[in-house]
């Protein structure tokens, strides 16, 4: 896939990809046994990070 030509296009691509990443982490979290606390905590952290990034991308796009 060709690289985005400008920041706006890069943000649009990232905004399109982040929900799928969040959904994949949520599916993995749901499939992770309760006794595997380390893995569950890692997935929860990844979900939180992606949600924050999505909010940041949307904020930046609204400001441009």
Share of the chain above pLDDT 70, in %: 92
In this predicted model, which residue has the larger pLDDT, 3 or 40?
40
DSSP per-residue codes, the chain: -PPPSSHHHHHHHHHHHHHHHHHHHHHHHHHS-TT-HHHHHHHHHHHHHHHHHHHHHHHHHHH-
Q: For residue range 24-49, what is the model confidence (pLDDT) as tens digits?
A: 999 999 999 999 999 999 999 999 99
């Amino acid at each position: 896939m060709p690289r985005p030509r400008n920041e706006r296009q890069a943000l649009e691509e990232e905004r399109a990809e982040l929900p799928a990443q969040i959904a994949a982490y949520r599916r993995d979290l749901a499939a992770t046994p309760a006794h595997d606390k380390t893995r569950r905590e890692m997935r929860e952290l990844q979900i939180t990070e992606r949600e924050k990034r999505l909010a940041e991308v949307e904020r930046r796009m609204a400001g441009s």
